[in-house]
Chain A
Amino acid sequence: MKIVVCIKQVPERDARLRIASDGKSVDTAGVATEINESDQYALEAGLRVAEKVGGEVVALLLGPDAAEEAIRRALAMGAARAIHLNDAGFQGGDASSAAKALAAAVRQESPDLVLTGLQSDDAGWSQTGVILAQLLGWPSATLIMEIEQPEDGRIKVKRELEAGWFQWITLPLPAVLTIQSGIYPVRYATLKGIMGAKKKEMKKMGPADVGVDGGQVGAAGRKVELKRLYVPEKTAEAEILEGDAATAAASLVDRLQKEAKVL
């Protein structure tokens, strides 16, 4: 069984972030990075399925040269090889143009299963995985909390719903699953794994290599443009409305209408 796991490199969880001078991005200079959290869980889930039924996990990452660190980590954790979509033409995109690039690479691999994290910790669109499934024309399921061993070309998975509810569903393969954080404890890369990763294949590919039109991916293919990135401003203003609930509510409505003019 061949499993492709899509991973993204993001700033580390407790990194101190600064807005870059263009006002539209995060200044990544000197910022420590990691594999996006839910992608780490997707990788763990993929490795577990591959270990159970046999087969290989291929890590697929879209990002600049610096993202090689995330790829090395994935290889050290147990991915058999990696594809690095690394080209200026892939940069500056949105979820949809990223999904187009990933879909092209996935088509070349024709795996049985594609796993992605539920969402990225930086942009947080939660869309790349589902757009990818749509582009491939494959069944998909989101928020996966458990995966059963695939059988007869089908896979049974548990989805997380609202308010503590779950749902078991079965999908025909190939399929795309977006994995929820916490599905299984993520393994550490062992020292043997880290040293063995050096010998594994890391293939760098551009738009032409995966057979995708350059106008469809990266900045050229994006549908969403980020206008401004800023840190919410802190102000010292706060006012406590006096009186019982009814009085306070009436006062609040009055202010929202007359002062804030939002009602």
Chain B
Amino acid sequence: MTLTGSKPATEGLLPLSDVQREIVRTAREFAANELAPHVAERDRKGEFSREPIDALGRLGFLGMLIPEEWGGNGLDTVTYLLALEEIARVDPALAVSMSVHNSLPTQLILAHGSKDLKERYLRPMAEGRMLGAFALSEAHAGSDPAALSCSAVRRGDAWVLNGAKAWVTNGGTADVVLAMARTGGSGSRGVSAFVVEPAWEGYAVGKEEKKMGLRSSNTTEIVFRDLEVPVANLLGEEGKGLAYALGALEHGRLGIAAQALGIASACLDLAVSWARDRQAFGQPIADFQGIRFLLVDLAAQIEAARALTYAAAAKKDRGEHARKEVAMAKLLASRAAMDAGVKAIQVYGGYGYMKDYPVERYFRDAKVTEIYEGTSEIQRLVIASELLDG
């Protein structure tokens, strides 16, 4: 079974505008025609390719949230997530490249960058001519980014960066990297954000990670050795980097929630189709209550997570404080993706465990949605602080 059809998963749940429905159609057609035929092979080979992400850029999917003034399409978060969910439904590994680019470096440059930085980086990024990456985590600073130790020391007209960044999505292929480094004392206030070009001397791509899932996304270590960053490429104010980064993480979290929903709905669609076709004891397994209830519970779980995700995004689009809802959406959508992977394999039975069928790939891809952009534990901390300490 292939995942085609133009009816968005969100149809019926959300009142989509004509523009949103058309954008979903383009995303879905592109995914079905250009991504679906190659996604299993790219996963098997663990091979990243720039072509699909560049093609997304040509269609306008890399500048969705950027105003037209800066070469983007000026769309809202809801519309962006609708498109991202469609891409993730077919190719979750490509979706994370798209999510990182749209949610983090472009958002940060838009919010805090000078006119010069916007002209040099934001415009080409919005037009899909430059791919962005975001370098915050370090080997010993994941959930606790304030512990990062990568350093930036002022020397004349430049900041000199030294240190290593871990698990950078698009790390080996990006044209622009937004990197966090320590310019001051310890803790969150000593961190600044820099716009870095990988072509500069002193920038090296380190180890390319071999991952359980999202195998065709490019995840690398990056290493700075006396990397000279012009003063003009300091983003916003010195010492504000971590505050900026944490501000953008909400967009990042919604992006991962949408990616998780894409994975979950693909698993559900595949499992439903399989249950209708697969015969056991003289009837389709979809006629057994054990399978029916399993699929029903999954469908309800996904729809609830989807409703929450788009409601949180809409709240953010209205400019309201949505930190709690975003964390809840990320927590529940990633859980739904994981549950969907497990259940889809169960419905497929022995076939589901085989690499010839797509559900084991979705299962492997699902796990990381509970880890990156804040683990589920971090989401719970965020929700708890909003719920109990506010």
Q: Show the binding face of A for B, using Cβ within 8 Å.
A: 12-15, 32-34, 69, 72-73, 76, 188-192, 194-195, 197-198
Do residues A34 and B6 form an inter-chain contact, with CB atoms below 8 A?
Answer: yes
Return the 4 tightest CB-CB contacts between A and B, nearest first: A191-B60, A32-B7, A194-B22, A191-B73
Do residues B73 and A188 form an inter-chain contact, with CB atoms below 8 A?
Answer: no
Of the A-B pairs whose beta carbons lie under 8 Å apart in the complex, a sample of 13, sorted by A's number, is: A12-B7, A13-B4, A14-B4, A15-B5, A32-B7, A69-B18, A72-B22, A73-B22, A189-B25, A191-B23, A191-B73, A194-B22, A195-B19
B4 to chain A, nearest CB (A): 6
> Contacts of B61 on A, CB cut-off 8 Å?
191
Residues 35-71 of B, flagged 1 when their CB comes within 8 A of A and 0 if not, give 0000000000000000000000011110110000000
> Contacts of A198 on B, CB cut-off 8 Å?
18-19
> Contacts of B73 on A, CB cut-off 8 Å?
191-192, 195
Q: How far is the CA of A74 from the CA of B4 in the complex (A)?
A: 20
Do residues A188 and B64 form an inter-chain contact, with CB atoms below 8 A?
Answer: no
Q: How far is the CA of A33 from the CA of B6 in the complex (A)?
A: 8
Do residues A188 and B6 form an inter-chain contact, with CB atoms below 8 A?
Answer: no
Q: How far is the CA of A62 from the CA of B171 in the complex (A)?
A: 51
Do residues B26 and A188 form an inter-chain contact, with CB atoms below 8 A?
Answer: yes
Q: How far is the CA of A192 from the CA of B128 in the complex (A)?
A: 13
- Total interface residues in chain B, CB < 8 Å: 21
Do residues A73 and B59 form an inter-chain contact, with CB atoms below 8 A?
Answer: no
Q: How far is the CA of A188 from the CA of B63 in the complex (A)?
A: 17
Identify which of residues 8-30 in chain B touch chain A, using a CB-to-CB cut-off of 8 Å.
Answer: 18-19, 21-23, 25-26, 29-30
Q: How far is the CA of A72 from the CA of B17 in the complex (A)?
A: 12
B91 to chain A, nearest CB (A): 16
Do residues B26 and A191 form an inter-chain contact, with CB atoms below 8 A?
Answer: yes
B37 to chain A, nearest CB (A): 14
Q: How far is the CA of A101 from the CA of B29 in the complex (A)?
A: 32
Do residues A69 and B21 form an inter-chain contact, with CB atoms below 8 A?
Answer: yes
Closest chain A residue to B79 by CB distance? A191
Do residues A194 and B4 form an inter-chain contact, with CB atoms below 8 A?
Answer: no
| Residue from the list A72, A190, A192 in contact with B18, Cβ < 8 A | A72
Q: How far is the CA of A73 from the CA of B22 in the complex (A)?
A: 7
Closest chain A residue to B59 by CB distance? A190
Closest chain B residue to A192 by CB distance? B60
> Contacts of A32 on B, CB cut-off 8 Å?
5-7
Q: How far is the CA of A33 from the CA of B26 in the complex (A)?
A: 14
